Amino acid sequence: MRLFSPSFEVSHLVAGRKWRLLSGGAILATLIFSVLAALLLKPFDSRAVQNPTLAIDMVTSGNTYDDTTNMMTVGTVNNCLTSATANPLTHVHATQVIIQNVEDLIGWQARLNYIGDKMRPSTVGFTMFTDNTTAQTISFNNLPIDQTTFVHRDLVTASSIPAAPSDGTNTPQTAAFGATYIGTPNFAISADTPAKATPDDTSYSAPSGGVLASLNLQVVGNESGNQLFMNLDDGNPNAPGSGIAFFNGTGAQDVPLPSSALGDGFHGEGVTCAPLDCTTQECPPATPCPAGCITATPTGTPTCCPTSPTITPTATATATPTPTPTGVHDAGIRRLGSPTSVHLVPGVPDTSGKATVVIANNNGDHADLIGVYLAFLPPAGSQNPGGCSPAGVQNLGALTLLPGDKLTVTTDPPWQCVDPAGVDGATWTLKAIADVHGDDFASCATVQQVFSGECNAALANDDNNSSNNTMIRAQPHVVALSP
């Protein structure tokens, strides 16, 4: 499962938050988990000494943030939560994903394996603390303050969490989620914990670790007397696994993490919590691959088991140089949400509204890589008379999804216009795009391509149902305010 695409590109898109303008081509670090041998490639000026660990903290009371000093503190990481009195109803426990011993962090992802009708991830939040000095929500991933804008970087996030199965079915499930900061990477903006001997930046501190995400774990039904687990896992049996990307001096360097660097979460429902061994054995236990399941090949590339016998051509088959593809390939946009209006004075962004959310589905009958793009046509058209941004096409990344699974991506650009009065009442036109196989961004990289039909034609080339590839919203509309 690949959480982010190999190349995150922004065409004429300004990414940021209140008071921040990132000029040039803002880039999103990739979390492409390639083979470990790639880490041996030289030369690069990393300066980073990597020994990262990720863990689920089942008791989060020791994890704090002080916005007066921009300091994040992680207490003892507890892998076990005991509920002395069992709750026989479906309920939720708040946990956190912790990172320790990392330098120059750009992005990360977590892979969870679990029994979906016992304890499952229900929701994940990527910013859990508030910095009141900048009016921003933050995590360790964007803890440093950009010294060119004097605010925290924004995050692009992605998650794929399947719905709960029927209770009592003991159904194994897998989920993945992660985040990365937006903007050109550098050493100072890429967080360290603990600090280097000579810090790159003194705008923050995280001496004992950082909180990457808040994770609500849902106990499904009556699990009284049971030991429950949440396996934070590597790429076996579901690839790719948990890992990080760090800044190596020129770009993002991927580090897939082994099971020994991953801390699982455990819960005793009405009994004393007792950790399981999910490091030297699989939790849930690995089983032979049935039709439609996903296994990891020796190179770590997800492979789908056959779902039907091989079709042998008959005498009536039409001769063709290209074999007929098997299976249904169908990527679709399920939801596109954004602010309904933005209130603008010249040159000042409005970030007070809700974030823009795109949800894409794999509607096919097998696992497929689904790419997600988002086009911003500015108010009054591509000539952009109001000098408004965002304006362009954003590649939000790609994720391998099982049939029926969804990818939720959130972005929060600073809506602004140089001359809002000139486009007062006009709207942005947003177009969300789902690309099966994630291979058509070159045909969808500009507003002209997206709205001329060129992009749609490319999408339809390998999608069995092109009617649901895109979704359009005429929002937000501009409300011009007096300077």
230 lies in the same domain as 368? no
Q: Which residue has the higher pLDDT, 375 or 412?
A: 375
Least confident range of 50-59, 76-85, 407-416: 407-416
Q: What is the largest CA-CA distance in the chain?
A: 77
Opening angle at CA 11, ends 9 and 13, nearest 5: 100
257 lies in the same domain as 356? no
Over residues 251-255, the mean pLDDT reads 90
- Give pLDDT, residue 303: 26
- Give pLDDT, residue 477: 94
Domain membership of residue 366 (yes or no) is: yes
Neighbours of 197 (CB within 10 A): 6
171 lies in the same domain as 278? yes
Q: For the segment 420-466, what is each residue's pLDDT rounded down to a tens digit?
A: 999 999 999 999 999 999 999 999 999 999 998 899 999 999 999 98
Highest mean pLDDT among 15-19, 74-78, 311-315: 74-78
Do 126 and 141 meet the contact criterion of CB atoms below 8 Å apart?
A: yes
Strand 265-269 to strand 80-83: parallel, antiparallel, or no bridges (unpaired)?
Answer: parallel
- Give pLDDT, residue 33: 31
Residue type, 179: A
How far apart CA 214 and CA 264 sit, in angstroms, is: 15
Domain membership of residue 312 (yes or no) is: no
Domain extent for 429? 331-480
Residue type, 161: I
244 lies in the same domain as 364? no
**Which residue's structure tokens are 């988990």?**
33
| The two three-digit tokens of residue 226, written as one number | 């049971």
- Give pLDDT, residue 177: 92
Neighbours of 274 (CB within 10 A): 10
Q: Which residue has the higher pLDDT, 159 or 299?
A: 159
Of 269, 289, 309, which residue constitutes the final position of a domain?
289
213 lies in the same domain as 269? yes
238 lies in the same domain as 349? no
Q: Is the pLDDT of residue 320 over 60?
A: no
Can you give the CATH number for the domain in which 62 is found? Answer: 2.60.40.680
How is 369-435 classified by DSSP, letter by letter? EEEEEEEEEPTT-TT-TT-EES-EEEEEEEEEE-TT-EEEEEE---BEES-GGGGTT-EEEEEEEEE
Can you give the CATH number for the domain in which 400 is found? Answer: 2.60.40.10
Closest to 173 in 3D by CA, of 111, 123, 216: 111
Q: For the segment 339-393, what is each residue's pLDDT rounded down to a tens digit?
A: 999 999 999 998 888 888 899 999 999 988 899 999 999 999 989 999 999 999 9
Q: For the segment 171-201, what is each residue's pLDDT rounded down to a tens digit?
A: 999 999 999 898 889 999 999 999 999 999 9
How far apart CA 415 and CA 458 sit, in angstroms, is: 30
- Give pLDDT, residue 327: 87
Domain membership of residue 396 (yes or no) is: yes
How far apart CA 264 and CA 78 sit, in angstroms, is: 10
Share of the chain above pLDDT 70, in %: 82
Closest to 398 in 3D by CA, of 240, 243, 189: 240
- Give pLDDT, residue 429: 93
Domain membership of residue 361 (yes or no) is: yes
- Give pLDDT, residue 390: 93
The CA-atom distances, in angstroms, between 442 and each of 29, 79, 189, 419 are 19, 45, 30, 31
Do 434 and 360 meet the contact criterion of CB atoms below 8 Å apart?
A: yes
Domain membership of residue 169 (yes or no) is: yes
Domain membership of residue 215 (yes or no) is: yes
Question: CA dihedral defined by 454, 2, 151, 479, rounded to 10 degrees?
Answer: 40
Opening angle at CA 191, ends 188 and 193, nearest 5: 125
| The two three-digit tokens of residue 129, written as one number | 């603390």
How is 434-457 classified by DSSP, letter by letter? EEETT--GGGSSSHHHHHHSHHHH
Domain membership of residue 436 (yes or no) is: yes
Tally the domains of the chain. 2
